[in-house]
A and B are shown apart, each in its own frame.
Chain A
Amino acid sequence: MEFQFPILSVIVFIPIIAGVLMMLMPAERKNEVRIIALAAAVLALLLSIWVYITYDQNVAGYQFEEVYDWVPALGIGYHVGVDGMSIPLVLLTGVVMFTGVLISWGLDDRPREFFAILFLLATGVFGVFVSLDLFLLFFFYEIAVFPMYLLIAIWGWAKTREYAAMKLTLYLFVGSVIALVGILAMYFGSGLETFDMIKLEEANFSEHFQNIWFLPVFLGFAVLGGIWPFHNWSPDGHVAAPTAVSMFHAGVLMKLGAFAALRVGIMLLPQGAERWSGLIMVFAVIAVVYGALIAFMQDDLKYMIGFSSVSHMGLVMLGLSTLNKNGLTGAGVQMFSHGVMTALFFAVAGMIYDRAHTRYISELGGMGKIMPFAMIGFIIGGFVSMGMPGFSGFVAEFPIFMGVWQVSPWIAIIATTSIVITAAYILRNVRDVFFRPLPKKLEGQITDVIVLDKVAIFTVSALMIALGLFPIILVPMVQTGVDNILRLLGGA
């Protein structure tokens, strides 16, 4: 067999290697640390783009696979590979990592440790998206979750960071333990003595088994996806987290939950998914409307974005719960679209907070004149959020509503009310934060964003518009992944 460059492993381990390098640097050489961080992020991003471009959509299926034994006695292997569903998420992680480093450039409190821990998280995230082995997936999943505690508790907002870090960690660990039990059940229940997901896809679990174990597995992971009613850790976590961490948290970490719920829950237990999809759909539609309503009344900018994430992740879950092609495609696109959009939102919110030292919308105003670039970015994000045609949000939401309508028109009607509510809170926010005259208290202390911020804003905004105008760059890719899911569902 000819040698194949292990590109996925390289992507996964770049962040952690960079982290180790940074820890070897003296703490006071902050700029060098930042440069290493940026270099690693750029490299990871370029490699993800490479994977994205060279993935052969005509062949579809899992590609760039690497298989090594890890603990053969237990059937644990190091098996990675990507398909149309996970590649966009790998790219998303690369984008968020890159922009996250850019906008954290000014962070002055122990940047070495900050970036090192953040990159540990990034490795975990990349790892989950490429894992094709259940044990490996779970392993990376925990690596992704654990650093959040440190990042929030150390660098977070002093007032609530301990509470939020604790709440987040507890929710996520409880969720993952429940999922772990399910994973072990699958391991023993399959009789195949393997954690390899591709083999488990063909395991043909009995209907009884699937009906019992689908919910624990799905919900256990979906907690991280912010599924209602287990969403409450998420907004609190966003608010307490420093900007780059919020971006990771909402941008990719929540996708992790939805992705794992899809990969492990729906794909390995398809009959269970069909049995319980109604319940998931109800949870999801509640989250969509409920999150939007709460976001509507929030005065705290970050809480607003946090609850809007709950609402938008609800759309992802809604798409997943349809189990049809339109819904699943929409969910896949929405994961990407929401990832970049919400990263942008948190980035801008962070820029505003760093300058105004308040996140209360009622105390803000006049930012449009001072930081027009940030405003344009925020408005573009807003249009994505509202599902305006021409932006990526529409490309994602339209198929979701289509898929939901096929299952239940009433749910679709309820879910679309969120479009109106979303428009209400986004526009209100834009009006007050950017267009209203600058309050006296803030005069003189606000400055425009720096060049690096602009690069970050430009990157994500351009992505959202490009995807909105030319859905062809992403949607067919996601569809190849969806076809595989449908095959599993149909074969059930």
Chain B
Amino acid sequence: MPFMKGRAPVRRTMKYLQDGALHLKSEIQVMTLNYNIGPGQQVHRGALDFVFWHLPQLLYKNPHTQFVTFKNLTPTPVFQFFFSNGKKLVIDVDSHSKDEIHSFIRSTLCKTEKEVEEEETKDEKNPGLFGLGSDSKKCICQIPGQVPCSGAVILPPQIRGKHRYTKES
């Protein structure tokens, strides 16, 4: 999309996406949003506004969750949450405003602020790193199955130049 074009282009700004407050619980794998569009769909207004304003933020903040929208398939607006253990929660959002829906989801199905902070501050290091980038593994020789450093254990004779370049060998 071009910059500052279309309806409410603020939705696509980095600042807006980063300000999203809905960090869904990590157990939630899929969220489906059923709502209707068109004239005379006043009860779906809140759900529609929620999708319009908060779905971009949800997508940005929850990259590992799948979001599916279903338009004009159910008579009443419904949000469903599918958990990793196969369980499911259904929320009826009939004639609720977008802010009501937002606050309910935030209080029930999202991580608490403390949890979010903890996750953000947690330093996830690559377990494959060794040497300078790693705290636990200072050298490749500390990884099991690798050749130990020659400073600690003398290398086998077939690798050492002392034996390889002598005339006898």
A and B assemble together: no
A contact set with B: CB distance below 8 Å: none
B contact set with A: CB distance below 8 Å: none
